[in-house]
A and B are shown apart, each in its own frame.
Chain A
Amino acid sequence: MIRKLAHSIREYKKASILTPILVSVEVIMECIIPFVIAKLVNQIKAGCTLGEIAIYGLILIAMAAISLIFGAAAGSTCATASCGLARNLRKDMFYNIQGYSFENIDKFSTSSLVTRLTTDVTNVQMSYMMIIRTAIRCPLMLIFAFVMAFVMGGKMAFIFLILVPILGLGLFLVIRKAMPLFRKVFKKYDALNNSIQENVKAMRVVKSYVREDYEEKKFGHAAEDVCNDFTKAERILAINNPMMQFCIYTVIAFVLSFGSYTIITSHGLDLDVGQLSALLIYSFMILNSLMMVSMVFVMITMSAESAKRIVEVLDEKSTLSNPENPVYDVPDGSIDFDHVSFKYSKSAKRMALANIDLHIKSGETIGIIGGTGSSKSTLVQLISRLYDVTEGDIKVGGINVKQYDLETLRDQVAMVLQKNILFSGTIKENLRWGNKEATDEEMIHACKLAQADEFISTFPDGYDTYIEQGGANVSGGQKQRLCIARALLKKPKILILDDSTSAVDTKTDALIRKAMREFIPETTKIIIAQRTSSVEDADRIIVMDGGTINGIGNHAELMQNNEIYREIYTSQNKAGDSDEEK
């Protein structure tokens, strides 16, 4: 996991290595300063000249200045290194996700990917900052201060050998006890926040059923639970503070009593007042850095979860890959399904598609109809290799789809997805998704075919109208027509419309089909629809039911011999018929 994350450091390696080095210099200076001051104190006591004091002063100020410069530099390089790591992590994740197949995309929800790219990266960034700065600084300071304490205090420093393990053990026990509690309560906390979100979203339901009191009670229980667990964990963690104080107090009391005894009995030979003062400073440094170490440890363990979630995204390998010697040319728009079966995951018990055998000629118009869950969309998604078949083969233009270069295949098999999306940007920018180099004439032509030109020209800004995120400022029918135009700009050999005209009125729907018949006759067209009127004039109509083909034929044939088709047709047209009878 760490190696995977470390891989994203790249160009920030220099800053990452430089930071601990700079920090080390800062720490060394910081540790020597009290030592020099102890000397100075003794000099003053011994009655030195002002000149000598000035020299000491200059040395000391120079040291503090060095420490300041290196410390500030370390702060700066550390910011570069940690923000750089965050930048690269986000970039690596985003790039990797761009390579995902549909199967990979299905695995992660949109919101979880967003969290991983933002909050989780921020957590790792903070930890990394801690690691290269504090995590080096503290142990180093611990060691230096320890050494200096021995140099200064001689055998007095043995008190640290007793206290440090005691404090270390105490901190360790506290963390070991608190961490699992924190982990548990963070999960509950997430659940609590999810339930608030649920409540906010469902406020109309809550209010229409007059469930405000019920919701309050439900929330009260959950909040109480979270609060109790949090308090328990925080109270354990709160022991750290007095524990630390206890150690400092012990050191001071010890140094004051035993130190003064040593000074007096040895006539200031084993220890002097300057050293005594320095010893107190060092003791503070030692215990403080120990405390910081434990805090860093807590931070790191807490962000480990985030790191794990990031690595999950980075480790996810696309389930589809380009073949070794890809074919870059699609000869024609014929499609062959040879005994194709498909299931969405290996563990799924049921096949989403079972034993499909289907042959479509280039230029044919095919309608597909069937209830929800009959795998209509699944069937067409296999053609442009959005998913790979589980069994059997699919050929486009007589060549197995797995032999094509993916980009070539998807350019030639244009698909208008059921859940279609426009992106924030102008209409032109959205249309250019279909063809980067499309001229204005080409765009207008495509929009005319998709019956979109008419409404676009009514917009004050025409083709430069800005589309808001998710296409919020155009109606459902307009959005669908724009999406069709976008796909048409690819000039594909096969065009698949997956329920893409559901919000378009039947008259316009018919116009779109007519335009396609007239202007792109050589393109194979596959139309999935809910309305039988959208597929009535297709060359052949496929009726899907429960992942199998229930019937194939033209409208008249199916009305004759396919029960499901007849049922769907009558459910949509019954009243109209009876009306005419009247």
Chain B
Amino acid sequence: MKKNNTPKKHTALRVIKTVFSFYPVMMPVTLICIIINAIVSSIQAVFMQNVIAMVEQSWQSGDWSAVGSQILMLVAVLISFYVFSLISGFAYSQLMAIITQGSLKKMREKMFNNMQRLPIKYFDQNNHGDIMSRYTNDIDALRQMISQSFPQLLISAISTMTILIIMLYFCLWLTLVVLVCVTVMILITKYIGGHSSRYFIRQQRSLGKEEGYIEEIMHGQKVVKVFNHEEESKADFDKINDMLFEESRNANRYSNILMPILMNIGNIMYVIVALVGGILLLTDIPNVSISQMALSISVVVPFLNMSKQFAGNIGQVSMQINSVVMGLAGAERIFELVDEPKEVDNGYVKLVNAKIENGEIKECDEHTGIWAWKHPHQADGTVTYTRLAGDVRLFDVDFEYEENKPVLHNITVYAEPGQKVAFVGATGAGKTTITNLLNRFYDIADGKIRYDGININKIKKADLRRSLGMVLQDTNLFTGTVMDNIRYGNLTATDEECIKAAKLAGAHDFITRLPEGYNTMLSGDGSNLSQGQRQLLSISRAAVADPPVMILDEATSSIDTRTEAIVQRGMDALMKGRTVFVIAHRLSTIKNSDVIMVMDHGRIIERGSHEKLLAERGKYYQLYTGAFELE
């Protein structure tokens, strides 16, 4: 725990600062309330001492009237303190609830909003489960820390300080006794706490291993059944499960025994204070204290209570240690995501609505169905307009995901408006990478890509992507109705337009057969639909977006050939008049392309129409005649 204290401290400070910045008024008010509450609950010992001192003086005389009014007076003052304390206690616990949840919400939003702006690279390089756990486990750990640990630590600190002062006010000797005991308690906490957290980390590791095993077996449960492999998987499971049991038993054992040990050392301290107090009362060792008062039974009694409170505080702090450690680790990971650098966009060419007047392109506000690239030239301050046509050209493009591991070499492709360009090749040949470069999910290392003659690096990313329709191999649907999912392609589309797009993509038939038609709720990434149906929806979504350029990456791979033949007409209608890039594993899907690029290890090795390539009797011919394996 000690090793990396500074980053931890830094994170703790940042959490506090962040919460303060969220609630600049509420936070100080809350702090003041906590302080009042903590001081009052400690200071009552002074009243107790005074009352008992008075009782001591007059219990033998039995004369209530002499001290009664004074005692009642003291109690009345105490009660008025209590009223303050209760009000502040109520206020801070209510405020804390608001602040905690509000801060968590803002943290979540910060994370989420930054996440939306991150480059695709981040999602390709980071495990999705790991990203998710920041929203679940880490946020939960942070909640624990903000709502419980921080206030508790503050209360404990303040009340420890107050009590310490009051103790010194009464008697130095007894205070020393308490401090010695507390030192022992802190050492024990450190020792046991250290063991406990070591085992907790091991337990987490075992749990991760067990989770991985369970996941793998549950995923392949049907295979297990088919191969009668049940007994073996049980045996393997037992090994991992027993290991987890050992680790978690040790972890819990240490954390479980900490509390009783601390509490009973507290009890021993209580006894020692009583003993030392008694000895001091009986012998004539002079008392040393701030108040200069002599030691009497009226001092020892509140001292006993205070020592109990003191021990209680130490116990409280020790109980928060694990959650603070976990909370800070969580906060660190949350800040990591918040701080992750955003996708850079230096584009300045924008896509605008346009109309044509006297053969010239004019920018306008209303939707005309005509789009133009607005290109301001920095050199002379002029603005030129280019009509959006869908002409995409790659010149000598090189690319690498990791340094010195080139994936694409000298890729040159011309796609004129309305042309269909296909890519075939084995997995890893670089087909999908090309599409990742077109929409600038990744930036090219060398070469140039021009869209309607404009270097795509100059185009604003959002506008570039708006002009490209993507249908990806893994279809992702969102929780919502079928209609909502289609409309995702164009938020302003009417129901009629969505239905028209679905008809175009050949999805209309199966949608109308769903229980609620277009209003059927999809959940869990459309798990109630077949893979083929999901692909049809994803094509409809692209159709409603109506972009001049479309990229279909294995868009029909899960639709069987017979169904594909049926939706082919719709697909053809969809592709008509657009520049289309098609990646497909199934050659029947791409046969009718204007040009087919055969890719191998990041290079285009053959190019031409289906007929031309067959006549060349090269790789494509081998593929087509089945002499060569894809994937």
Q: Within the assembled complex, what's the spacing in Å between the Cα atoms of A348 and B97?
A: 48
Interface string of B123-152 (1 = CB under 8 A from A): 100001001100110000000000100000
A117 x B465 contact (CB < 8 A): no
Residues of A within 8 A of B82 (CB): 249, 253
Contact partner, B268, options A61, A201, A372, Cβ 8 Å: A61
Number of A-B pairs, beta carbon distance below 8 Å: 428
Chain B residues positioned under 8 Å from A212 (CB to CB): 116-117
A434 located at the interface, meaning its Cβ lies under 8 Å from any Cβ of chain B in the complex: yes
**Cα–Cα distance between A67 and B104 once the two chains are bound (Å):** 41
Bound Cα distance from A484 to B417, whole angstroms: 46
Q: Are the CB atoms of B264 and A571 closer together than 8 Å? A: no
Q: List 17 A-B contacts (CB under 8 A).
A: A41-B301, A65-B268, A83-B252, A99-B230, A102-B225, A114-B214, A196-B135, A227-B102, A235-B94, A249-B82, A263-B59, A265-B64, A410-B225, A414-B226, A476-B631, A568-B561, A571-B564
| Residue in contact with B211 in the complex, picked from A78, A118, A572, CB distance below 8 Å | A118
Selected contact of A268 from candidates B59, B100, B241, B532, CB within 8 Å: B59
Instruction: Choose the segment among B45-53, B171-179, B401-409 that binds chain A (4+ C-beta atoms closer than 8 Å).
Output: B45-53
The residue on A at minimum CB distance from B111 is A196
A469 in contact with B216 given A94-B241, A530-B561 (CB within 8 Å): yes
Check if B282 sits within 8 Å of A264, measured CB to CB: no
Residue B468, interface by CB 8 Å: yes
Chain A: interface size category = 35 or more
User: Would you give the shortest CB distance from A87 to chain B, in whole angstroms?
Assistant: 4
Contact of A82 among B60, B215, B252 (CB under 8 A): B252
- Residues of B28-51 contacting chain A, CB below 8 A: 37, 41, 44, 47-48, 51
In whole angstroms, what is the CA distance A209 to B463 when docked?
10
Q: Measured between alpha carbons, how far is A226 from B139 in the docked complex, in Å? A: 13
Whether B249 lies near A57 (C-beta < 8 A) is no
A90 interface residue per 8 A CB criterion: yes
- Decide yes or no: A575 and B132 within 8 Å by CB, A91-B237, A234-B100 being known contacts: no
- If A37-B304, A86-B245 touch, does A47 touch B282 (CB 8 Å cutoff)? yes
Chain A residue nearest in CB terms to B72: A257
Smallest Cβ-Cβ distance to A237: which chain B residue: B97
Cross-chain contact B628 with A193 (CB below 8 angstroms): no
Inter-subunit contact B271/A64 (CB<8 Å): yes
A75 is an interface residue with CB less than 8 A from chain B? yes
Of A143-151, A357-365, A504-512, the one contacting chain B is A504-512
Give the Cβ gap from A274 to chain B, nearest Cβ, in Å. 8
Q: A74 within 8 Å of B by Cβ?
A: yes
Which residue of chain A has its CB nearest to the CB of B489?
Answer: A209
Most interface-central of B37, B233, B257, B277 (chain A CB within 10 A): B257
Q: Are A477 and B228 in contact (CB under 8 A)?
A: no
Does B56 reach chain A (CB closer than 8 Å)?
Answer: yes
Q: Is B611 an interface residue (CB 8 A)?
A: yes
Chain A nearest Cβ from B578, distance in angstroms? 15
Which residues of the other chain, A, contact B288 by a CB distance below 8 angstroms?
none
Interface residues on B, range: 35 or more
B611 and A223 contacting across the interface, CB-CB below 8 Å: no
Do residues B131 and A200 form an inter-chain contact, with CB atoms below 8 A?
yes
Can you name the residue of chain A whose Cβ is closest to the Cβ of B62?
A: A267
A257 touches B71 (CB 8 A): yes
Q: How far is the CB of A429 from chain B (nearest CB, A)?
A: 10
B46 CB to closest chain A CB (Å) equals: 12
Q: Mark B255-275, 1 if CB is under 8 A from A, else 0.
A: 011111101110110111011
The smallest C-beta distance from B620 to any residue of chain A, in angstroms, reads: 12
Chain A residue numbers with a CB within 8 Å of B532 are: 372
Chain A binding surface SS class: helix
Compute how far the CA of A582 lies from the CA of B102 in the bound complex, rounded to whole angstroms.
72
- In the complex, whether A197 has a CB less than 8 A from a CB of chain B is yes
**Within 8 Å of chain A (Cβ to Cβ): is B89?**
yes
A252 x B44 contact (CB < 8 A): yes
Q: Mark B99-132, 1 if CB is under 8 A from A, else 0.
A: 0111011001100110111001001000010011
Q: Are B222 and A475 in contact (CB under 8 A)?
A: no
Residue of B67, B248, B258, B591 with most chain A CB atoms under a 10 A cut-off? B248
Q: Is B356 on the interface with A (CB-CB < 8 A)? A: no
Q: How far is A284 from B277 in the complex, measured between Cα atoms in Å? A: 23
Q: Which residues of B contact A575 (CB under 8 A)?
A: 588, 591, 610
Say yes or no for A344: interface residue by CB 8 A criterion: no
Find residues 119-139 in chain A having any chain B CB closer than 8 Å to their own CB: 125, 129, 133
Q: Which residues of A contact B60 (CB under 8 A)?
A: 267-268
Chain A, 503-531, CB within 8 A of any chain B CB = 503-508, 530
Q: Tell me whether B441 and A71 are in contact (CB under 8 A).
A: no
Write the chain A residue with the least CB distance to B585: A503
A94-B214, A265-B64, A372-B563 given; A193·B135 CB < 8 A: yes
Indicate if the CB atoms of B245 and A83 lie closer than 8 Å.
yes
From B317-325, B373-381, B472-480, give the one contacting chain A.
B472-480
- Contact among A82, A98, A284 for B234, CB-based, below 8 A: A98
| A76 part of interface (Cβ distance < 8 Å) | yes
The 10 closest A-B pairs by CB, nearest first: A71-B260, A506-B626, A75-B256, A505-B629, A202-B476, A68-B264, A227-B105, A79-B252, A234-B97, A75-B257
Cβ contact within 8 Å between B222 and A273: no
Q: Which residue of the partner chain B has the closest CB to A567?
A: B562
Contact of A72 (CB < 8 Å), options: B74, B115, B260, B272: B260
Whether B226 and A410, one on each chain, are in contact in the complex, defined by CB atoms closer than 8 angstroms, is yes
Chain A 372-405 against B: per-residue CB contact (8 Å), 1 yes, 0 no? 1100000000001010000000000000000000
Q: Which residues from B are CB-within-8-Å of A249?
A: 79, 82, 85-86
Q: For residue A34, which residue of chain B has the nearest CB?
A: B270
15 additional contacts, CB 8 Å, given A133-B256, A196-B132, A198-B476?
A: A40-B278, A44-B277, A64-B268, A65-B264, A78-B252, A79-B256, A117-B211, A118-B207, A200-B115, A223-B105, A237-B97, A249-B86, A264-B64, A273-B52, A372-B560
Establish whether residues A265 and B62, one from each chain, have CB atoms under 8 Å apart when the complex forms: yes
Q: Given the known A-B contacts A261-B68, A579-B614, are A215 and B116 also in contact in the complex, defined by CB atoms under 8 Å?
A: yes
9-residue interface stretch from A158-166, A324-332, A416-424, A439-447: A416-424
Contact with B along A247-265 (1 / 0, CB 8 A): 0010011001100110111
- Beta-carbon contact of B63 and A30 below 8 Å: no
Interface status of B20 (Cβ within 8 A of chain A): no
Query: Closest residue to A30 on the B side, CB-wise?
Result: B267
**Would you call A87 and B268 a contact (CB within 8 A)?**
no
User: Known contacts A78-B256, A253-B79, A407-B228: does B275 contact A56 (CB below 8 Å)?
Assistant: yes
Let me know if A253 and B562 touch, CB within 8 A: no
**Nearest Cβ on chain B to A240's Cβ, whole angstroms:** 8
The reply to whether A60 and B274 contact each other, CB–CB distance below 8 Å, is: yes
Q: Interface 1/0s, chain A 231-248, versus B by CB < 8 A?
A: 100110111011001100
